[in-house]
Amino acid sequence: MLSFNTLIAVCLAYVVALFLIAFAADRRARQGKFGWLRSPLVYTLSLSIYCTAWTFYGAVGYAARSGLEFLTIYLGPTLVMVGWWWILRKLVRIGRSQRITSIADLISSRYGKSNLLGVIVTLMAVIGTTPYIALQLQSVTLSFAVFAGSAAPDKNATALWVAAGLALFTVLFGTRNLDANERHYGVVTAIAVEAVMKLFALLAVGVFVVWGVADGAGDILARIDASPIAGWELKPGRWVSLIFLSAVAFLTLPRMFQVMVVENADERHLSTASWAFPLYLMLMSLFVVPIAVVGLDLMPAGSNPDLFVLTLPLSQGREGLAMLSFLGGFSSATSMVIVAAIALSTMVSNHIVMPIWLSVARQGATVSGDVRQVVLTARRVSIAVILALGYAYYRVSGGGAALAAIGLISFVGVAQFLPALLGGIFWRGATRMGAAAGLLTGFGLWAYTLFLPSFGGSVILSAELLAQGPFGIGWLRPQALFGVSGMDPLVHALFWSLTLNTIAFCVISLASFPRPQERLQGAQFVNVFDHNPNAQGWVSGMAEAEDLLVMAQRILGPEQAQGLFSREAARQGKAGYLPDISPDFLQRLERELAGSVGAATGHAMIGQIVGGASVSVGDLMAVADETAQMMEYSSQLEAKSAELERTARQLREVNEKLTDLSVQKDAFLSQISHELRTPMTSIRAFSEIMREGGMTAAERAKYALIIHDETIRLTRLLDDLLDLSVLESGQVEMNMQTADLQDIIGRSVTSAGGDGCLAIHRDPVREQVVLVTDPDRLSQVFINLIANACKYCDAEQPELRIRVRSKGGNIEVDFVDNGTGIPAKSQPLIFEKFSRLGDQRAAGGAGLGLAISREIMANLGGSVIYLPGQGGAAFRVILPVDGAASTKSKP
């Protein structure tokens, strides 16, 4: 016989190994080296927490008592898994896209984030799971007792130690991560190891029984036929009901939901698990009947069949195998308790503790760091409380046979989630009221017809009540409701609770009207495959700031949002674009958002992202995108209308100018005909005179000179017109070179003969500027301006001041005379062709000079403008120093 101390040592070593594995996995995940941590294999193995100690030990006991019926417990989940395309795929997708943290969260979130439903589901889950935890404690305690024999310490003490150890492990690895939605890699990996352990142990015992004790498969079949369970007493009602029940429980058990949906790292793992997990279940069940049969055969009458897995190897002197088997059972119990405690603690902290805490500490909601600490503490305390409850239940129930039946009773309890769950993900018409009504109805009936009677007569429900019904009303008897008697109590309870649950759920849903939030959530859940094709897991902390930034960018525009975030980060003394999510910052951000999308939406959006959102970020993005698109569209419209207005204004201006130009063109035509006609008239007249002959040589020479002069005038006029048209078309090549401004001005003054007709004041120092330009063309402009001053300055002692100064990259050359200047109304027209003002006498030009000057300056990259208010006619020539703009052609 193994000594009890050896057992303890092996057990502790195993636990330490689990700790190390969990620790290593957690660290790997933390370093981002996921690898096999996120493999379909680990996912499949983690599902094995379905197989608890109730399976490991209990299945053999069940088979020894009721034959093949135990298989229903594993066939139901098999059907659910192979039918994953129906339900599981959708559940997992919803769980991932809505960042669901538990089954209570799923139901609460689906029905408009109703906290009422969260509380109901949480309480039901706790009530349904606590006995189950007690069952695990009992199995571990019993298995200890088997080994220890009479030397066993107090059973209660063993149970207490186990409960405390499990609480420690769960707190350490189940609440390390701040985010409930984050995966617990350490725990999941440890569970996967335990899954391998229990499968290996059970297979080892099975192989030993079939090929060690019996003579192979044929012999086993013969032994089955010879055993007390040779006849398969198939009870159709129970058979179908139990397959259905285990299938439902597989979906709704909080711990199954935890590993299947919450801890799911990749949706594709589900497709592998769809066949691999049924395979696991089949292997777990494979040797149950042989062990039961051989156990019944070999073990003394009256020994507990629930412990055959342990006692059979022991009785054959296989202590090592028994030890392995013990560890398998231990693994089954511990992994179930750990996951159940994590799932329940998440529910309790999220749906019970947090709402209470938030309503008590009102301002607390805005202090994000605080909340996280509160959540963590709440989870840790909840874990301890749940295990304490399990222990208390174990003590109260006395670890008797009542516990053995608790597995199925617990199943029926959690099965009450089914209508709300399936209705929630497939039926948009399901409402919060309907769900609450269904849950309460089902739960009440479960308690009344199954849970309370399970304590046995006179504990809670009196034997009289059980037999006669409350107040003697026969058709309200707990185990024969509405006169339905002769049904198996379990089937009876399952039938009534789920039927009335579903009816209440449907009828109240049809009769009530959902709130907007419910309808929104309903649409998102039911149409999850349309909404979120690529939902991603969501990490807190930095990711929240990032999500806020992404959202803000879509609403405010990238620059503004980034500016806002980086300013905020700078204010907090951080670099980059991601500030801490401080209340101040959120308030500011909300204000910014409210400016764009309205106060209510801004508030809701921030609230969604920051406070445990259940509308996914992706959906918010869609809304934000829509808003942004609408805003963009309307701003486009605005821009377009502004542009239209601008165009209209431009058109008006152009029209005015065109009208003016039309007048000018008329004037131009009459001018040009006049200009051409005058010399032509002279030429014709004098040439006629000369043709008549009879004149002196001196006269002829004089007339010829006149004709010659007139043709020169005509030629010059035509040259000017030609020059102008070339300049205007922009086809002229400027001969850019480095030149000295002083030289150009000097040359221009000389050419224009300015010194002769008016006094010219220059500023030689400032003129010393070197610039890149076309000197000939520039001097053409200067000559024109000087000549104009010469011609039109009406002062008695005409003067011309030439000022030079440089401004920015430009040189400004002003030509200011001391005449009366140009009247304001004529100023806009002086640069137009043939716009000679007033005095027609001014000879030598056809009024093209300024027009040509303007075109030259435009070609040189500068301009020439009239400068009003200088006490005389003043022109300013602006030209770039480097001639950079000179290459720019005219528009």
Partner 1 sequence: MSERRQPLFLERESYRQRRTTDAARLLPVLGFLALCLPILWGGEGGLLTSVGVIYLFGVWVVLIVVAMVLARRLRRIDAQQDAPD
Q: Which residues bind partner 1 (CB under 8 A)?
A: 67-68, 71, 75, 78-86, 89, 221, 224-225, 227, 229-234, 236, 239-240, 243, 267-268, 271-272, 274-275, 278-279, 282, 286, 289, 529, 533-534
By beta-carbon proximity to partner 1, the closer residue of 242 and 309 is: 242
CB of residue 882 to partner 1, shortest distance in Å: 52
Give the integer Cα–Cα distance in Å for 584 and 590: 10
Nearest approach in angstroms of CB 222 to partner 1 is 8
- Comparison of 281 and 323: residue with beta carbon closer to partner 1: 281
CB of 34 to partner 1, least distance (A): 19
Report DSSP state, residue 694.
-
State whether the Cα torsion 53-59-60-65 is positive or negative: positive
| Cβ at position 289, least distance to partner 1 in Å | 6
Q: Nearer to partner 1 by C-beta: 415 or 707?
A: 415
In whole angstroms, the minimum distance from the beta carbon of 295 to partner 1 comes to 15
Cα–Cα distance measured from residue 288 to residue 57, given in angstroms and rounded to the nearest whole number: 9
Residue 470's contacts (CB-CB under 8 Å, 6 or more residues apart) are: 476
Please compute Rg for the chain using Cα positions.
49
By beta-carbon proximity to partner 1, the closer residue of 4 and 239 is 239
For 358, other C-beta atoms within 10 Å of its C-beta total: 14
Q: Are 281 and 195 in contact (CB under 8 A)?
A: no
Q: Of 410, 399, 390, nearest to 450 (Cα)? A: 410
806, β-bridge pairs:
811
Minimum CB–partner distance for residue 614 and partner 1 (Å): 22
Rounded Cα distance, 236 and 424, in Å:
31
**Closer Cβ to partner 1, 221 or 842, answer by number:** 221
Strand duo 810-817 + 874-880: pairing: antiparallel
Q: How far apart are CA 468 and CA 92, in angstroms?
A: 46
Least spacing, CB of residue 68 vs partner 1, in Å: 5
Distance CA 428, CA 751 (A): 94
C-alpha 410, offset from chain centre: 38
Angle value at C-alpha 850, between 848 and 854, nearest 5 degrees: 115
For the record, the structure tokens of 587 come out as 């308030």
Question: What is the closest distance, in whole angstroms, from the C-beta atom of residue 187 to partner 1 in the complex?
Answer: 26
The 3-state DSSP class for residue 760 equals strand
Select 271 or 678, whichever has its Cβ closest to partner 1. 271
Provide φ and ψ at 737, rounded to 5°. Answer: -160, 170
With respect to partner 1, which residue has the nearer C-beta, 78 or 170?
A: 78
Q: CB 276 → partner 1: shortest distance, Å?
A: 8
Give the C-alpha separation, 494 to 485, whole Å: 14
CB of 71 to partner 1, least distance (A): 6
Residue with tokens 């009303």: 473
Q: Are 441 and 501 in contact (CB under 8 A)?
A: yes
**Which residues are 761's β-sheet partners?**
801
Q: Whole-number minimum distance, CB 574 to partner 1, in Å?
A: 34
Residue 63 CB, nearest distance to partner 1 (Å)? 9
DSSP H helical ranges for 67-184: 72-82, 88-97, 103-110, 115-148, 155-174
Q: Pick between residue 278 and residue 602 the one whose CB is nearest to partner 1.
A: 278
Which structure tokens are listed for 822?
Answer: 């140009």
CB of 92 to partner 1, least distance (A): 11
Please give the backbone phi and psi of residue 740, each rounded to the nearest 5 degrees, phi first.
Answer: -100, 125
- Closest CB to partner 1 among 226 and 644? 226
Q: What is the rounded CA–CA span in Å between residue 129 and residue 135?
A: 10
Closer Cβ to partner 1, 233 or 656, answer by number: 233
Q: C-alpha distances in angstroms, 811 versus 23, 806, 864, 885?
A: 77, 4, 12, 13
The torsion angle over the Cα atoms of residues 392, 398, 402 and 407, rounded to 10 degrees, is 40
CB of 217 to partner 1, least distance (A): 10
